């Protein structure tokens, strides 16, 4: 069960204001009901040496929404300038919703795991990708499959197992056990699909991972995977991804 984490409006406002002050000063903060919102121009800045400090690769009109559930679902980002085609290939929904990445899996791997850090690397990477596609290039960091399989794939990449529902679920179930019992479960079959025992296969990597991921993040990934696994089975089809995810 994923604990229902909520962030106060004051805390969200402060986090978003700090993010704006760090380099996105063309965005303005406001509130809509319980949501804290930043709207305006997002400047995609280069990091390579040789550029002047105020250099900008491209700018996009965005609306960033921090709901009270931001700790669980991450910031919601919408492209409002209509500068990018609304289609699956561009990872933008009809309402402009930007499918930046799988928040729970990103959080498990990120150096900075605060939800506001999702607006640093993942958001920047997303618009580097958009700019690259505009230049006729491929998505520079690859793409996850659309829909439920994308979530399974993201979780599998993180866990280092096969991108199959069974393998991902088995590995996720193993994590808390590994964390609690360590080497005493090394006799179990490795979930990576090698058919060897854990001790002779992925034990070191998975044990280290089980210690580094906090239980709340792990529970969030598990919940996401369970939800998508049900969708894949057709037990509970999803209506709108945007509504369901962010």
Partner 1 sequence: MMRRRGKAMATRDDLPVRWVRSPLTDAVKLLKRHAAALHQGDADRPISAITLVLAGHAYAQQDTISGTLAGILPTMRNFIEWDQGVGIVQNPGCSGENFADKWPEKPRKQKLYLDWLERAERDFMEFLRSGDPRKIPEGLAKGMTTTSINRALGISQPAYMRSPAAMVAAEAGKVTAEGRDTKPWFPN
Concatenated DSSP letters for 173-190?
Answer: HHHHHHHHHGGGGTTSBP
For the bound state, the minimum distance from the C-beta of residue 245 to partner 1, rounded and expressed in Å, comes to 5
CA 199 vs CA 6, 174, 187, 190, 205: distances in Å: 39, 13, 6, 8, 11
Nearest to 124 by CA among 77, 92, 70: 77
Q: Minimum distance from CB of 226 to partner 1 (Å)?
A: 15
84: nearest Cα among 30, 121, 31, 139: 139
User: Where along the sequence are the contacts to partner 1 (CB under 8 A)?
Assistant: 46-48, 50-52, 55, 57, 88, 91, 93, 99-102, 106, 121-122, 124-126, 128-129, 131-132, 135-137, 139-148, 150-151, 154, 231, 238, 240-242, 244-245
Q: Is 9 helix (H, G, I), strand (E, B) or coil?
A: helix
Least Å distance between CB 94 and partner 1? 12
Instruction: Name the residue nearer to partner 1 (CB basis): 153 or 174.
Output: 153
Q: How far is the CB of 232 from partner 1 (least distance, A)?
A: 10
What six digits make up the tokens of 111?
Answer: 């150096």
Please state whether beta strands 58-66 and 35-44 pair in parallel, antiparallel, or not at all (unpaired). antiparallel
- Which residue's CB is nearer to partner 1, number 10 or number 94? 94
Nearer residue to partner 1 within complex by CB, 11 or 120: 120
Provide the 8-state DSSP code for 200.
Answer: G
Of 73 and 186, which has the nearer Cβ to partner 1? 73
Which of 129/191 has CB closer to partner 1? 129
Angle at 129 between CA 126 and CA 135, to 5 degrees: 150
Minimum distance from CB of 34 to partner 1 (Å)? 23
Residue 135: phi and psi, rounded to 5, are: -85, 5
Of the pair 149, 216, the CB lying nearest partner 1 is at 149
> Least distance to partner 1 from the beta carbon of 122, Å?
4
Separation of alpha carbons 151 and 156, rounded Å: 8
Q: Of the two residues 11 and 121, which places its CB atom closer to partner 1 in the complex?
A: 121
Q: At closest approach, how far in Å is the CB of 134 from partner 1?
A: 8
């Amino acid at each position: 069960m994923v604990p229902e984490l909520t962030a106060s409006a004051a805390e969200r406002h402060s986090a978003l204001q700090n993010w704006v002050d760090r380099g996105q000063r063309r965005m303005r903060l406001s509130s809509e009901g319980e949501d804290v919102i930043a709207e305006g121009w997002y400047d995609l800045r280069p990091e390579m040496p040789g550029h002047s400090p105020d250099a900008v690769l491209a700018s996009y009109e965005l609306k960033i929404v921090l709901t009270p559930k931001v700790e669980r679902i991450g910031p919601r980002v919408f492209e409002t300038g209509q500068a990018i085609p609304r289609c699956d290939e561009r990872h933008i929904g009809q309402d402009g919703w930007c499918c930046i990445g799988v928040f729970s899996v990103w959080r498990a791997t990120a150096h900075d795991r605060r939800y506001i850090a999702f607006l640093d690397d993942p958001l920047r990477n997303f618009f580097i990708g958009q700019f690259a596609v505009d230049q006729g290039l491929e998505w520079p960091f690859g793409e996850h499959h659309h829909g439920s399989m994308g979530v399974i794939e993201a979780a599998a990449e993180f866990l280092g197992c096969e991108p199959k529902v069974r393998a991902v679920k088995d590995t996720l179930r193993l994590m808390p056990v590994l964390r609690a019992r360590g080497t005493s479960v090394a006799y179990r079959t490795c979930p990576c699909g090698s058919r060897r025992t854990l001790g002779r296969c992925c034990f070191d990597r998975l044990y280290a991972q089980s210690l580094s991921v906090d239980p709340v993040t792990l529970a969030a990934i598990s919940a996401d995977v369970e939800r998508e696994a049900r969708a894949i089975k057709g037990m509970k089809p999803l209506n709108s991804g945007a509504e369901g995810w962010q």
